[in-house]
Amino acid sequence: MLPPSDLDMMINDHDILFTWIAPLYHIYPFLGYNVSCGDIQLTPDLITELTYTAEDTPSGMHNFSVTAAYDGGESDPIETVVYVGFNPPTDLIASDGIDSINLSWSPPNIQNTVFLSGYRIERRINTSGWSPIIDDLPLAPTNYTDNTAIVGTMYDYRIIAKYTNPVYESEASNIASATPYFAHPAQNITHTITEQTVSLNWEAPTSTPTAFQGYNVYRNNSLLITAPIPALYYTAENTPSGMHTFSVRTSYEGGESEPIETVAYIGFNPPNELEASDDIDSINLSWSPPTIQNTVFLSGYRIERRINTGGWSPIIDDLPLAPTNYTDNTAVVGTMYEYRIIAKYINPVYESETSNIASATPYAANPIANLINNVTGFDVELSWVAPIEHPAFLGYRLARETTILVENYDDTTLTDSNLSPGNYTYQVIAVYAGGDSAPVTTTATVLAPRIVLNPTESFDFGELAVNSEVEQEIGIMNTLGGVLIINNITIAAGSNSAFSLDLPELPIRIYGGESASFIVGYNPVVAGGHSGVILLNNNTDEPVILFQVSGSATEVSDYDEVDAFATVLVGNYPNPFNPETNISFSLAKETVVRIDIFNVKGQRVKTVVDGHFNAGKHTVIWNGYDDNGRSVGSGVYFYRMTTDEYSAVKRMMLTK
């Protein structure tokens, strides 16, 4: 079964016309031809013509084949490889440049960018052979500058697109030509100065190619004009003082020539707006730099002073440019000084006229006097005598230890209230515009109360069932010397009848550092909230102490289901204590309980318990030691009880 022969093709954009010659003869009945692209059959129905057009063929490399179909089978294929869409770049443009040639082009009109990898740029001189100047130029940008071109030589350029998968190079683009040129500079620049105006003159370049546009004028590398000028002169008005480099560059389409330059020196002005202000043991100076200056050549300042109308003397001769302020720490308190400043320049070395004259007088930051403290209960009252009056005085800053209590305070008394027992050091500082006076300190001692109850002021029994009963022990401690006599303990009129007392024999005598206790019972018979007040009559300056109690009761149908206990942190006893104290709490149900001890900084000191407890009353002991087995110091501590449904914090005091 003979195949067709002489397979040929013609590509028009993405359409491919195939032609071939029929088999010379055949034994089996001939049926037609199959045309395929790779594994894809393009002619589902056999064709009998000797031509076929594959339309809209995608970009890439394709294997086309043609077979002859017979009644007895199919011939071997004839094949050809076709490259579609591997087009060259277009619209290549070459333009003259200064010492170079600039190229730009458009990418292939029809391409598959997956397979377009870059470009090769070739050039030639006249009609000589083509040579590559770059072989692997990336896809973007589609421009290139040939900096190896020789001035005055015309070059031809063309570009080839390079593809991968398969590796393939397109036909060459159109040819573009250009000639690089030399940017001739202007010549013989001169200048004249009239006050702040500089007049420049120059001569034209020795040669001006067609790309010549005019002249650009610069001052200190800053362009003074918005477009090139054709004239051979320029006037720079309102030129600021200083040394200025003026330059002229010849402008061409491709850029600028090298500059021709001239240097002009204008105005070396003094500083201005000098101000002198009084300060503590010193005088502060500030000023503005010369209003018209070139800071490249301003090297610094010299500051001079005098007393009254005496002679001027320098106090610093080479002060740097920044900052524009200075503090004279050699001035004598109470003496008035006058100051002036001179600006110093270099290139050339030059000193300006003097600034305006400013005067000031340094003062002393006098502290307060006679700071005293008066302790009343838990409050400390401070008072003092104000310093000598001065216009720079702003107020007072008061601190307790390292804590600032007030700033810019304008009174001479202050009360620090609600303090815990302990020693407190106070500091008072007089604040001035120029700084602070020396601090004045005093130490106050706040004593612990003589009578301390545990719990301290109140107790809540929580929620109970009606007809349930619970008791709470209330501790009484004498924290000072002498004998504390509790004459009577009663429930105040108006209190709910659900509360009752279980008292020791009255009167109760408690010696210094010792304690006693009594029992408060709660037996509600009616549902709802209940409250009461316990009165303690004693022989101290506070003969009646009030202690509040509260609770609530709930009716239930099944009395046996009611838990008679509430979950509550009762308190610690004794309080204050030394060396150990009992921490009491009750639970409404079995749960995990954690009790931690914290110091006044909020740092955890000790975990007393962390485990399961049954419902009911419980007491644990803290022996005054931390988690590392070290004895802690005297002071106020906080203890926190935590369960999965409850958290409470109370305060206690360790005295040694």
**Residue 23: phi, psi to the nearest 5?**
-60, 150
- Beta strands 313-319 and 298-307 are antiparallel
Write down the pLDDT at residue 525: 87
Confidence of residue 211 (pLDDT cuts 50, 70, 90): confident
**b vs e for 124-140, b when ≥16 Cβ sit within 10 Å of the residue's Cβ?**
eeeeeeeeebeeebeee
| Fold observed for domain 272-360 | Immunoglobulin-like (2.60.40)
CA distance 405 to 384: 16
CA distance 369 to 442: 11
pLDDT at 486 over 50: yes
Per residue in 571-621, pLDDT (tens digit) is: 888 888 889 999 999 998 999 999 999 987 778 999 999 999 999 899 999
Confidence of residue 637 (pLDDT cuts 50, 70, 90): confident
Mean pLDDT within 447-464:
74
**Residue 560: phi, psi to the nearest 5?**
-65, -20
CA distance 189 to 217: 11
Q: Yes or no: say if 344 and 318 are a contact pair by the CB < 8 Å rule.
A: yes
Mean pLDDT within 11-34:
89
Residue 179 to residues 143, 172, 257, 258, 367, Cα–Cα distance (Å): 17, 21, 17, 20, 86
Does the pTM exceed 0.75?
no
CA distance 39 to 46: 16
Confidence of residue 559 (pLDDT cuts 50, 70, 90): very low
Tokens 């080479």 found at: 318
pLDDT at 479 over 80: no
In 3-state terms, what secondary structure has residue 560?
helix
Per residue in 244-274, pLDDT (tens digit) is: 899 999 998 878 889 999 988 776 778 999 9
| Fold observed for domain 464-561 | Immunoglobulin-like (2.60.40)
Tokens 């420049």 found at: 200
Per residue in 155-169, pLDDT (tens digit) is: 999 999 888 877 888
pLDDT at 354 over 70: yes
Percent of the residues in the chain that have a pLDDT greater than 90, as a whole number: 48
The candidate with the shortest Cα–Cα distance to 535, out of 472, 473, 493, is 493
Residue 231, both tokens: 């004239």
CA geometry: angle 157, 162, 163, nearest 5 deg: 160
DSSP state for residue 324 in the 8-state scheme: S
pLDDT at 227 over 60: yes
Q: Which CATH class is domain 90-178?
A: mainly beta
Write down the pLDDT at residue 563: 46
Confidence of residue 295 (pLDDT cuts 50, 70, 90): low
Q: Yes or no: say if 270 and 293 are a contact pair by the CB < 8 Å rule.
A: no
Pseudo-torsion of CA 397, 401, 403, 408, nearest 10°?
Answer: 0
Write down the pLDDT at residue 557: 46
In 3-state terms, what secondary structure has residue 618?
strand
CA atoms within 13 A on the CB side of 328: 31
Per residue in 400-422, pLDDT (tens digit) is: 999 999 999 999 999 998 787 78
Q: Which amino acid is at 203?
A: E
Write down the pLDDT at residue 377: 63
Mean pLDDT within 187-210:
88
Pseudo-torsion of CA 504, 507, 508, 511, nearest 10°?
Answer: -160
Q: In 350-392, which ranges are E strands?
A: 350-354, 358-360, 369-376, 379-385
Output 496 or 121, whichever has higher pLDDT.
Answer: 121
Write down the pLDDT at residue 455: 75
Output 555 or 620, whichever has higher pLDDT.
Answer: 620
pLDDT at 558 over 50: no
Q: Which amino acid is at 277?
A: S
Q: Which amino acid is at 165?
A: N
What's the residue count for the chain?
656
User: Sign of dihedral through CA atoms 229, 232, 236, 241?
Assistant: positive
Q: Yes or no: say if 99 and 106 are a contact pair by the CB < 8 Å rule.
A: no
Write down the pLDDT at residue 562: 37
Q: Which residues on adjacent β-strands are paired with residue 531?
A: 550
> What 3 state SS string does 407-436 have?
EEECCCEEEECCCCCEEEEEEEEEEECCEE
CA geometry: angle 493, 496, 499, nearest 5 deg: 105
Q: Yes or no: say if 73 and 1 are a contact pair by the CB < 8 Å rule.
A: yes
CA distance 566 to 564: 7
CA distance 115 to 137: 15
Residue 575 to residues 156, 545, 571, Cα–Cα distance (Å): 105, 16, 9
CA distance 163 to 112: 9
pLDDT at 294 over 60: no
Write down the pLDDT at residue 627: 93
> Residue 500 burial (CB < 10 Å; 0-12/13-18/19+)?
middle
CA distance 253 to 26: 73
Output 650 or 188, whichever has higher pLDDT.
Answer: 188
| Fold observed for domain 5-84 | Immunoglobulin-like (2.60.40)
CA distance 363 to 332: 8
In 3-state terms, what secondary structure has residue 557?
coil
Separation of first and last alpha carbons in the chain: 120
Radius of gyration of the chain (CA): 52
Mean pLDDT within 214-231:
90
Q: How confident is the prediction for the chain on average, in pLDDT?
A: 87
CA geometry: angle 459, 450, 504, nearest 5 deg: 60
Identical topology for domains 5-84 and 464-561: yes
Q: Which CATH class is domain 369-446?
A: mainly beta
The candidate with the shortest Cα–Cα distance to 132, out of 167, 158, 97, is 158
Per residue in 361-399, pLDDT (tens digit) is: 999 999 999 999 998 767 899 999 999 888 889 999 999
Q: Which amino acid is at 415?
A: T
In terms of CATH, what superfamily is 187-266? Answer: Immunoglobulins (2.60.40.10)
The candidate with the shortest Cα–Cα distance to 116, out of 50, 183, 166, is 166
Confidence of residue 561 (pLDDT cuts 50, 70, 90): very low
Write down the pLDDT at residue 573: 84
Q: Domain residues of the chain, as ranges?
A: 5-84, 90-178, 187-266, 272-360, 369-446, 464-561, 565-656
Mean pLDDT within 176-197:
89
- Beta strands 544-554 and 458-465 are parallel
**Residue 544: phi, psi to the nearest 5?**
-125, 125
- CA 170: distance to chain centroid? 54
CA distance 126 to 370: 105
Per residue in 82-127, pLDDT (tens digit) is: 887 778 899 999 998 888 999 999 988 765 555 788 999 999 998 8
Q: Yes or no: say if 611 and 593 are a contact pair by the CB < 8 Å rule.
A: yes
> Residue 49 burial (CB < 10 Å; 0-12/13-18/19+)?
exposed
DSSP state for residue 133 in the 8-state scheme: E
CA distance 530 to 139: 89
**CATH tag for 565-656 (out of 2.40.420.20, 1.10.3720.10, 3.40.50.2300, 2.60.40.4070):** 2.60.40.4070
Confidence of residue 40 (pLDDT cuts 50, 70, 90): very high
Q: Yes or no: say if 641 and 648 are a contact pair by the CB < 8 Å rule.
A: yes
